Amino acid sequence: MDFLIFQVPMLTLQATLDGILLGILFALIAYGMALQWGVMNIINIAQGDLVILGGYIAYFMYLWGIHPAWGVIVSPFIMYFVGVGIYKLVINKVVDRDLFISILATFGISILFMQLMNFAFGADVVLANSGYGTTMLFDNSVTLPNSKIFSAFISIVFAIGLVVYMKKSKLGRAIRATAQNARAAKILGVDTEKVYAATFGINAALCGVAGALISITFTIHPYMGLPYTIRSFMIVIVAGLGNLPGVAMSGMGLGVFEEFADYILGTEFRIGSVFLLLVLILVYRRFKLSRKREYLK
């Protein structure tokens, strides 16, 4: 291998660290997707667009002179209501229909959001400057922006917070009960309609947090949503539903993969390699399962 990245250990370390910090963010988005997939059995193609919308909330706070890190608090609040609104308008009509209907409906929402954001916020690539500076490691040969460390830390805090909330709170128990058996939960007095709305809202709120962090650490653009959806979908199918450590691990793995693909193939193939990886993973799983005459369900 004559790739520079493998000859210089510091570069390898740099890419790995970048990838892990990025992957923690991906895992947070994937966690939201796993939650609503598990509870409502819906694959939300608009997931990435919710992330980008959350990012714009933080960006606008930055424009109005508020430090964008507060977006981590504000964005989920707004996004929760956006999520509940989407649920009431669209999702509750597709929730127990054919899965393809929900994929197509959320695809429509995704196009709608993409375009509305394009009109409202313009087609420029933007970022909210947090002014956090960078940390230098190993004689300045590895640089880590503090904003990335901050975002990874916040992601972990939110993820742990949500896990605890799901375990302890009444709503969390209701959500878990509905995920196990919606009908039985209904009989036992759980208002599943409310649970679904709350689940979708929580998912949107998580997207809002992730979006705010992405607007601080990376860049956002109205059309960048779909890759985030695909990434979170990929993480969920690799880890499996309801496997939280798995989500975290595969999120970091994906982050590292992306950083290396970026170095080796070039930035123009970065998104392409993500989508190709999805295809390869699905095909691999399919062959592995077909030996037992099973298929992905």
Partner 1 sequence: MNKNIILYAALLIFGLAAPFIFPAFKVQLSILCVLIVLALTWNIQGGEMGYNTFGNILFYGLGMYLCASVQVGMFFPLAEWTESGGEKTFVHTPTQFFQGMAMGLVVAAVIPTIVAGLIGYSILGLRGHYFAICTLGLGVAAGEISGGIEIIGAGQGFTTPPFPDVGSLEARGEFFYFLSFMAVVLTFITVKSIYSTRFKLILNAIRDNEDKAEAMGIQTMKYKIIGWMISAFFCGLAGGIMGGLVGYIDSTDVAFDGREMGVFMVLMAILGGKGTLWGPVIGATVFHIFKEGFWTFFLGWQYVALGVLIVVIVIYFPEGIMGWLREKYPERFGEVVDEADRKAQVELK
Q: Which residues bind partner 1 (CB under 8 A)?
A: 43, 90, 93-94, 97, 99-101, 103-105, 107-116, 119, 226, 230, 233, 237, 266, 268-269, 271-272, 275-276, 278-279, 282-283, 286-287, 290, 295-297
Rounded to a whole number of angstroms, the minimum distance from the CB of residue 177 to partner 1 is 24
Rounded to a whole number of angstroms, the minimum distance from the CB of residue 161 to partner 1 is 29
Phi, psi angles (nearest 5°) of residue 144: -125, 115
The per-residue b/e assignment along 201-234, b for 16 or more CB within 10 angstroms, e otherwise, is bbbbbbbbbbbbbbbbbbebbbebbbbbbbbbbb
Q: Rounded CA gap, 221 and 295, in Å? A: 37
Specify the residue, 108 or 161, whose C-beta has the smaller distance to partner 1: 108
Specify the residue, 112 or 157, whose C-beta has the smaller distance to partner 1: 112
Rounded to a whole number of angstroms, the minimum distance from the CB of residue 119 to partner 1 is 8
Rounded to a whole number of angstroms, the minimum distance from the CB of residue 191 to partner 1 is 23
Q: Rounded CA gap, 150 and 147, in Å? A: 5
Contact present, 46 and 173 (Cβ < 8 Å): no
Rounded to a whole number of angstroms, the minimum distance from the CB of residue 234 to partner 1 is 9
Judged by DSSP in three states, 145 sits in: strand
Specify the residue, 81 or 269, whose C-beta has the smaller distance to partner 1: 269
> What is the per-residue DSSP string for 109-142?
HHHHHHHHHHHHH-S--B-------EEEETTTTE
Rounded to a whole number of angstroms, the minimum distance from the CB of residue 296 to partner 1 is 5
Specify the residue, 84 or 226, whose C-beta has the smaller distance to partner 1: 226
Rounded to a whole number of angstroms, the minimum distance from the CB of residue 98 to partner 1 is 8
Q: Angle 119-121-125 (CA atoms, 0-180°, nearest 5)?
A: 115
Residue 161 identity: G
Specify the residue, 204 or 237, whose C-beta has the smaller distance to partner 1: 237
Q: Rounded CA gap, 251 and 261, in Å? A: 15
Contact present, 149 and 22 (Cβ < 8 Å): no
Specify the residue, 61 or 94, whose C-beta has the smaller distance to partner 1: 94
Specify the residue, 116 or 163, whose C-beta has the smaller distance to partner 1: 116
Rounded to a whole number of angstroms, the minimum distance from the CB of residue 162 to partner 1 is 25
Residues 6+ apart with CB under 8 A from 112: none
Element (H, E) at 144: strand 142-145
Specify the residue, 142 or 278, whose C-beta has the smaller distance to partner 1: 278
Q: Which two tokens stand for residue 197?
A: 């709305």
